[in-house]
Amino acid sequence: MKNLFLYKAIISAFIASIFIYFRKLDYYKTFPRKKIWVSVVVFVWSVATLMEPFFLPIGLVILNLFGEKHDFNQENTSKNSLDA
């Protein structure tokens, strides 16, 4: 049973690393500061992830579907044009 948990944890961590690498989501802007409901949601997600590793990629999918997305290439291009 421990081998199954480890296997799921490794798969979940790998999926999470792919999400992080290709993200177009600013996680700090997606989660509003000083909101109790945000803290509760993150707490529940953290506990769920520790109990069942597949909650990590599931939560990332939900976050990416409903999160505030930003185009990093467009932001970097506009910064570079201001520097010129």
User: For tokens 């970097």, what's the residue?
Assistant: 76
The residue extents of the domains of the chain are 2-83
Helix, strand or coil for residue 69? strand
pTM as predicted: 0.65
| pLDDT surpasses 70 at 80 | no
| pLDDT surpasses 90 at 77 | no
Q: Minimal CA–CA distance to 56: which of 10, 3, 25?
A: 10
First to last CA, the chain: 59
Tokens of 22: 């290709």
At residue 54 the predicted structure's pLDDT band, cuts being 50, 70 and 90, is very high
42: Cβ contacts below 8 Å, ≥ 6 apart: 31
Is 18:61 a contact under the CB 8 Å cutoff? Answer: no
Distance CA 59, CA 13 (A): 12
